[in-house]
Amino acid sequence: MPKSIIPIRSSTQEFTEIEDINHDIIMFRDGSCALIVTTTAVNFGLLSEKEQEAMIYAYAGFLNSLSFPIQILVRSQHKDITHYLGLLEEQERQQKNPRLAKSIHDYRIFVAETVKEKEVLDKKFYLTIPFSSLELGAAPSVLFGSKKRGLPYPKEFIYERALIVLTPKADHVLRLLGRLGLRGKQLTNEQLVRYFFLAYNPDSPSVDVERMIQTSLLTKAARS
């Protein structure tokens, strides 16, 4: 008699080890945390030779001034212009001048065909600042790696400690980015949910992303 097939019940959350997202911070199941800063970028190829050298020295100064580890991530995704094309189509319908309506129509078709034929990528830049569970202080599950899974301390205590450590680090990174001529900001709870959902579901339509985010936030509100 053939053995019955046991379905796989693992979820993305199980794989990523994410326990919770709150206070604009990610909490993992071992009690460690992290916050993520997104930043603008500079088109290095368009700079003059002197400007490139100045940027390299400034970036070196940025790295040398850090007294804590960070992770730098560059994410490339296909540009989603669905919303933009929808706005153009709406403007085309509302336009009373036939010539302008035709111009908008031709432009909309041109943009759609360009994105279809060529790989138009949207690059986003992130800096992750970690908080180790060892920074929580002495606890048997932290120091000796207890086999019992779960947080070593209550969530609010972990968040409190993580905020004390991570907030000044984030402020320091944002100031350094400003010196480079870049604009950085810390990701909020909703943006963090979107960040991880897109990381593991890169081809999901924008509608599915927004539905998932709303479901996540509503579930979180119900638990709190």
Q: Report the chain's mean pLDDT, rounded to a whole number.
A: 81
pLDDT at 1 over 90: no
Same-domain check for residues 31 and 42 = yes
Q: How confident is the model at residue 112 (pLDDT cuts 50, 70, 90)?
A: confident
Nearest to 58 by CA among 184, 185, 183, 176: 176
Same-domain check for residues 32 and 86 = no
Domain-ending residue, one of 119, 138, 170: 119
Same-domain check for residues 182 and 193 = no
Q: How many domains does the chain have?
A: 3
Range of the domain at 22: 16-76+123-187
Same-domain check for residues 84 and 72 = no
Residue 3 inside a domain? The answer is no
In this structure, are residues 115 and 79 in contact, taking their beta carbons and an 8 Å threshold? yes
Query: Exposed, middle or buried by CB within 10 Å (0-12, 13-18, 19+), for 55?
Result: middle
Q: How confident is the model at residue 210 (pLDDT cuts 50, 70, 90)?
A: low
In this structure, are residues 92 and 104 in contact, taking their beta carbons and an 8 Å threshold? yes
Residue 108 inside a domain? The answer is yes
Q: 3-17, 29-43, 116-130, 141-155 — which one is most confidently predicted on average?
A: 29-43
Q: Residue 170's pLDDT is what?
A: 96
Same-domain check for residues 218 and 161 = no
Same-domain check for residues 215 and 145 = no
Residue 9 inside a domain? The answer is no
Same-domain check for residues 127 and 55 = yes
Sign of CA dihedral 219, 80, 186, 161: positive
Same-domain check for residues 43 and 139 = yes
pLDDT at 163 over 90: yes
Q: Residue 204's pLDDT is what?
A: 64
Stretch 158-173: mean pLDDT: 95
Give pTM, 2 decimals: 0.71
Same-domain check for residues 25 and 61 = yes
Which residue stretches of 65-188 are H helix? 82-94, 98-117, 140-143, 155-179
Same-domain check for residues 52 and 156 = yes
Q: Residue 8's pLDDT is what?
A: 47
What does the angle CA 79 – CA 83 – CA 86 come to, to the nearest 5 degrees?
130
DSSP line for 1-40: -PPPPPPP---HHHHHTEEEEETTEEEETTS-EEEEEEE-
pLDDT in tens, 41-95: 888 888 899 999 999 999 999 999 999 999 999 987 777 777 788 888 898 889 8
Same-domain check for residues 95 and 166 = no
Residue 4 inside a domain? The answer is no
Residue 135 inside a domain? The answer is yes
Query: Which tokens is 91 given?
Result: 């403007």
Residue 131 inside a domain? The answer is yes
Stretch 159-176: mean pLDDT: 95
The SS3 assignment for 63 reads helix
Same-domain check for residues 60 and 129 = yes
Task: Count other C-beta atoms under 10 Å from residue 37's C-beta.
Answer: 19
Query: Exposed, middle or buried by CB within 10 Å (0-12, 13-18, 19+), for 118?
Result: exposed
| CATH number of the domain residue 150 falls in | 3.30.1460
Q: Residue 215's pLDDT is what?
A: 57
